Amino acid sequence: MLLNASGCLDALTAPEVARSLDAFVTKTVTPLPRDGNPPVRIAEAEVGMLNSIGLANPGIDRFLTGNLPRLAKLEIPIWVSVGGFAAEEYAEICSRLDDHAEVAAIELNVSCPNVESPSESAARIVASARLATRKPLWAKLSAAVPDIGAVACAACEAGADGLSLVNTLRGLTLDARTLRPSLAPAVGGLSGPALKPVALAAVYACYQATSMPIVGMGGVQTGRDVLDFVAAGARHVALGTALFADPDAPSRVRADVAVELDARGYSDLDDVHATAHPELLSIRTTTNGKYLLK
């Protein structure tokens, strides 16, 4: 599946772009409405960009009454990205989404670099959310940890169904003239091509540690990027910054994937999956749709 990275598309202002994806991931929804951070909120870096939007969103009440019914009319699967500042807040939102059939999956944003982090661990948040919903739960992790494979294992044991890898990394750019931070909050989240090797390493490590289904993202611009993420272990791939520069990126990347597969003699992306892990391919088995290593 080709998705958008959360926060990189508004399906209500650009429905035709959302429809060109296999599923739409919402901007992160929090318990209360948030205006987000003051401007300046974005800056271009050498091979990426910084953002510090600060989880601007209408809050779960207005999301459920205003946004979700309109999103449902797009008739593509809707993944809701959920954020909070404590495990109970994640659980509360998950519980309120649980009865909405139009919500295909929930992504737990436990790693936004632009707001204060929840004090609990990713695993504790996943465990709380797991008790609150039967929906598929995807934990969106940051690569800015010493051992992302260990975080992935903990999220898996806490009941996550999959992983979204990776969130942006904290970065800083300075104004060329004043040498002061370009962004009002100074530091923002780095996305774009600069993030790709970091994201690939995270996908590789988490696949090796858990074999969980993974949505890979971070600097995907071309068909070759998609092949790289799938080869590293991702089942799905999301476009982020590429959508900003080109709303036609989904169809362009799909066409590009077909060319790249053909050039290598593959018939589809399943042929590429996890080829970066030759040592695992021979011992992998599946049980109930989840991959197990042993």
Active-site hit among 112, 153, 156, 206? 112
- CB of residue 264 to another protein, shortest distance in Å: 27
Of 124 and 252, the one with the shorter C-beta distance to another protein is 252
Binding to another protein in span 107-146, by CB under 8 A: none
Binding to another protein in span 199-238, by CB under 8 A: none
Of 49, 68, 137, 169, the residue at the interface with another protein (CB under 8 A) is 49
Of 36 and 159, the one with the shorter C-beta distance to another protein is 36
41 part of the interface to another protein, by CB under 8 A: yes
Number of residues counted as binding another protein (CB under 8 A) = 33
Examine the residue annotation and report whether 94 is marked as an active-site residue of this protein. Answer: no
Of 135 and 196, the one with the shorter C-beta distance to another protein is 196
- CB of residue 35 to another protein, shortest distance in Å: 5
Of 38 and 69, the one with the shorter C-beta distance to another protein is 38
48 part of the interface to another protein, by CB under 8 A: yes
Binding to another protein in span 236-275, by CB under 8 A: 241, 243-248
Burial of 248 (0-12, 13-18, 19+ CB in 10 A): exposed
Residue 59 to residue 79: CA distance in whole angstroms: 16
Of 23, 25, 53, 232, the residue at the interface with another protein (CB under 8 A) is 53
39 part of the interface to another protein, by CB under 8 A: yes
293 part of the interface to another protein, by CB under 8 A: no
Of 26, 51, 164, 173, the residue at the interface with another protein (CB under 8 A) is 51
Burial of 187 (0-12, 13-18, 19+ CB in 10 A): middle
17 part of the interface to another protein, by CB under 8 A: yes
Of 242 and 274, the one with the shorter C-beta distance to another protein is 242
Residues of the shown chain interacting with another protein in the complex, contacts defined by CB under 8 A: 7-10, 13-14, 17, 27, 35-36, 38-44, 47-49, 51, 53, 56, 176, 192-193, 241, 243-248
Active site residues: 112
